[in-house]
């Protein structure tokens, strides 16, 4: 089954999200666990969760890729920012257990001048603190574009974080995986236009392909290696538009690739709802 969806507003709760996703033709989706800019999280209502599960079963939605708030920086330098990251991450992982066995995706963070090694060390330490042995969620580190002092701009940096967790507690590192963002990896310098399989071989060598659990499928406003992180609609940017050296064939290769095709694909393109519905339809038609 091809799983394709997009980022969905969490307004109105879980059942409302499932219905919104279905209306767009999606059978998977992403959502923010709390206000992406601030910190508040609405309490989860058991009755909402119950009807949500029934609706998902009916609609064939079996993968959720929750997204941590942007303000969550696991390697912050300031004490209050670090404390928010610890609190929000930990609380989110408790909340995720209401929807067992799903994915929680986060940005590894920005080291804000502390240096990459310190950043990686802090991220691993935070994960060791918030992950717990009987959790059912898989926590996904997102591949980053490498703007500013972002950590996670290379597969090596992601592998170092995972190894840092494993060094202290191998059991907890089993809870970790990766979400590959097509805009971000291209911006980071990985040439998925001309050599997707080579990039995935490298991922396998450095991180291990078994860790790859989800794809954010976005076009990019900038060329490979630009380190910008500006998402574009499918077919309008450097990956999907022939004008910039890419093309629909690139998108087709991504959704059809043997190592990716079974994963949930999530759109985070600059779209209104109708645009998402059209891109979902387009990508469905492209998968071979």
**Catalytic residues, which ones?**
37, 67, 70, 107, 142, 181, 184, 216, 229, 231, 268
**Cβ distance to Zn ion smaller for residue 98 or 147:** 147
- Ramachandran region, residue 218 (left: φ > 0; alpha: ψ -120 to 50; beta: rest): beta
User: Would you tell me which residues interact with Fe ion (CB under 5 A)?
Assistant: 142, 181, 216, 268
Q: How far is the CB of 62 from Zn ion (least distance, A)?
A: 25
- Cβ distance 250 to 182 under 8 Å? no
92 makes contact with Zn ion (CB under 5 A): no
Q: How far is the CB of 28 from Zn ion (least distance, A)?
A: 18
Q: What is the C-alpha to C-alpha distance for residues 106 and 204, in angstroms, rounded to an integer? A: 20
Q: How far is the CB of 231 from Zn ion (least distance, A)?
A: 6
216 binds, among Fe ion, Zn ion, none (CB under 5 to 8 A by kind): Fe ion
7 binds, among Zn ion, Fe ion, none (CB under 5 to 8 A by kind): none
- Cβ distance 67 to 101 under 8 Å? no
Q: What is the C-alpha to C-alpha distance for residues 196 and 202, in angstroms, rounded to an integer? A: 10
Q: What is the C-alpha to C-alpha distance for residues 123 and 83, in angstroms, rounded to an integer? A: 13
Residues 207-266 that bind Zn ion (CB under 5 A): 229
- Residue whose C-alpha is closest to residue 264's, from 18, 27, 24, 22: 27
**Cβ distance to Fe ion smaller for residue 157 or 268:** 268
Q: How far is the CB of 181 from Fe ion (least distance, A)?
A: 4
What element of type H or E holds 142?
A: strand 138-142
**Cβ distance to Fe ion smaller for residue 175 or 216:** 216
229 binds, among Zn ion, Fe ion, none (CB under 5 to 8 A by kind): Zn ion
**For 35, what's the count of Cα atoms within 13 Å in the CB-facing half-sphere?**
7
Query: What residues line the site for Zn ion (CB under 5 A)?
Result: 229
């Amino acid at each position: 089954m091809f799983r394709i969806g997009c980022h969905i507003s969490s307004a109105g709760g879980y059942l409302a999200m499932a219905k919104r996703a279905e209306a767009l033709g999606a059978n998977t989706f992403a959502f923010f666990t709390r206000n992406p800019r601030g910190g508040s999280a609405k309490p989860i209502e058991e009755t909402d969760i119950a009807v949500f599960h029934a609706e998902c079963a009916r609609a064939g939605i079996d993968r959720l890729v929750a997204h941590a708030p942007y303000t969550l920086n696991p390697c912050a330098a300031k004490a209050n920012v670090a404390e928010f990251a610890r609190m929000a991450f930990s609380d989110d992982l408790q909340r995720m257990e209401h929807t067992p066995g799903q994915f929680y995706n986060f940005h590894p963070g920005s080291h804000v001048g502390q240096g990459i090694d310190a950043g990686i060390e802090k991220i691993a330490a935070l994960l060791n603190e918030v992950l717990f042995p009987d959790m059912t969620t898989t926590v996904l580190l997102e591949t980053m574009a490498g703007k500013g002092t972002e950590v996670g701009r290379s597969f090596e940096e992601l592998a170092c974080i995972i190894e840092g967790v494993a060094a202290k507690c191998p059991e907890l590192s089993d809870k970790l995986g990766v979400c590959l963002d097509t805009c971000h990896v291209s911006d980071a310098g990985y040439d998925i236009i001309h050599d997707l399989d080579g990039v995935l071989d490298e991922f396998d060598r450095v991180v291990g392909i078994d860790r790859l659990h989800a794809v954010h499928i976005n076009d990019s406003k900038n060329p490979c290696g630009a380190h910008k992180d500006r998402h574009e609609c499918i077919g309008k940017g450097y990956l999907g538009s022939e004008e910039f050296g890419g093309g629909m064939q690139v998108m087709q290769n991504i959704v059809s690739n043997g190592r990716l095709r079974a994963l949930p694909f999530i759109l985070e393109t600059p779209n209104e709802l109708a645009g998402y519905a059209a891109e979902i339809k387009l990508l469905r038609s492209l998968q071979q």
